[in-house]
Chains A and B, each alone.
Chain A
């Protein structure tokens, strides 16, 4: 297993006081909380910070950790705690840790135990004997899909880790692969509920649910807002002024002819009803006009613009003064 430098993870000096550790932990927990942070690996970092704090907040565990850690560098492979390292401390039986040890790294588990404590729980009761029974936890995950997937529906393969109890009554993380059908018309931020695909219950209780949050990968053309889709479409200055008929690619992969009304200002939104995301209540598709200037390096463009400047009476800033 790899050695983990808990001080570095929390961004504190080795001699930090308990208060400094607490402050640093709270700050990092807020920063990396998966519900708050937009960073990709927020969840991993949040767990890492939690694990580090679990050890360093407890003076006894911290002392034990300090003793064994001084000669190792973070990330070094093949770390083995010396056989007698816990001589002066009693962690080996597990159950010492209040935190959910399965959530922590194997480094943590090897030092402070944990999984075994949970195991006793599982063994103590089974369905029908009136023992302890509870429903499994809901599991949350996020999948990123393409816009096209929402139009056509798709199947996504997910790798999930869930704690399960083996024959020895130990909690082990089991990897499983689920192929999940993503229904047509799903929108960004919606949640797909897969009944009884969460963590197993205790003592014969039923499994929790799997809640899949849907995110959309950025699209090279379109942006999204709920069920509505937006596209920036460049138009020439004369198209915006005189009106025009232009071809626009719609999100369903087709092409549609659109009328640009005369005197359309920059940023004007044109709506194509029902051309947004499909589904029970269909979204709309908005074309946002972007007036795009031809380059003045073209002598013709230059000549025409000079002519406009000299002959047209137009002051766009009249309202400023």
Chain B
């Protein structure tokens, strides 16, 4: 046991934190604004409100989604349209899995 172990860190539930601006989103995703705008163009993430990029506000979950999209793009060498498609299919699989769970017998 060492002393470092004792302190407990607490965080926030990302999805319940306040909305992000484009700048904050880029900062936490460590990606340039151009990349984010391309993600928005492909419908990977969507601003909650705001008419132009200065006023845009994003739900915190956009952060996780943008991150995931960028990882897929980088690791698998797919383009953004392909990434967007993969993410949508993954979402669908998740939903179906959840529905399936309700039917699986737990003896």
Interface residues in chain A, defined as those with a beta carbon under 8 Å from any beta carbon in chain B: 26, 29-30, 33, 35-36, 46, 50, 135, 137-138, 140, 155, 176-181, 183, 185-186, 189-195, 197, 208-213, 218, 220-221, 223-225, 230, 232, 279-280, 288
Contacts and interface: CB of A to CB of B under 8 A. Distances in A.
A191 B75 contact: no
Interface in B23-70: 27-30, 60-61, 63-64, 67-68
B74 to A, nearest CB: 10
A249 to B, nearest CB: 14
Given A135-B30, A179-B5, A33 B13 contact: no
Contacts, number: 100
Interface residues of B, number: 36
Interface of B: 4-17, 27-30, 60-61, 63-64, 67-68, 71-72, 75-77, 86, 90, 94, 98, 101-102, 106
Nearest to A178: B9
Contacts of A181: 8-11
Given A183-B11, A195-B11, 15 more contacts: A26-B76, A29-B75, A33-B72, A33-B75, A36-B72, A138-B30, A180-B8, A180-B10, A180-B11, A183-B13, A185-B13, A197-B11, A223-B102, A224-B98, A224-B101
Given A138-B67, A209-B28, A179 B7 contact: yes
B102 A230 contact: yes
